Amino acid sequence: NAGVTQTPKFQVLKTGQSMTLQCAQDMNHNSMYWYRQDPGMGLRLIYYSASEGTTDKGEVPNGYNVSRLNKREFSLRLESAAPSQTSVYFCASSGQRNTGELFFGEGSRLTVL
């Protein structure tokens, strides 16, 4: 089992460019999440998907869109990247109803110039 896999691991963008972060899990989990991690601010929830076919906003959704492609895959898209979106992005999944342990991917470091 690979667990939670996200790509790419590193990306440099120019302001205004778009990109998609991909995430896949092989644990048959229903819920998937996207967090961003910034120094001194912990992990902030961007969007989540409680189950296939549903997505909801988290704490900091502005500037992002998501797609729950199927049960395994949950992508995060930046339509017009801004320097404020420079961050480390973590995808996570959870198999428990409502709340429970989050299994994180390795992270994607994004720099927007």
Partner 1 sequence: GENVEQHPSTLSVQEGDSAVIKCTYSDSASNYFPWYKQELGKRPQLIIDIRSNVGEKKDQRIAVTLNKTAKHFSLHITETQPEDSAVYFCAASPGGFKTIFGAGTRLFVKA
Cβ 34 vs Cβ 23: under 8 Å: yes
| 100 lies in the binding site for partner 1 (CB under 8 A) | yes
Q: Which of 44, 71, 72, 77 binds partner 1 (CB under 8 A)?
A: 44
Q: What mask of x and - would describe binding to partner 1 in positions 62 to 81, judged by CB under 8 A?
A: --------------------
Q: Which of 17, 22, 45, 72 binds partner 1 (CB under 8 A)?
A: 45
Residue with tokens 């409502």: 98
**Rounded Cα gap, residues 7 and 62, in angstroms:** 21
Q: Which of 50, 61, 73, 86 binds partner 1 (CB under 8 A)?
A: 50
Q: Which of 31, 85, 87, 108 binds partner 1 (CB under 8 A)?
A: 31
Cβ 11 vs Cβ 112: under 8 Å: no
Q: 38-55 in b/e burial notation, b at 16+ Cβ within 10 A?
A: eeeeebebbbbbbeeeeb
Q: Enumerate binding residues for partner 1 (CB under 8 A).
A: 31, 33, 35, 40-45, 48, 50, 56, 58-59, 90, 94, 98-102, 104-107
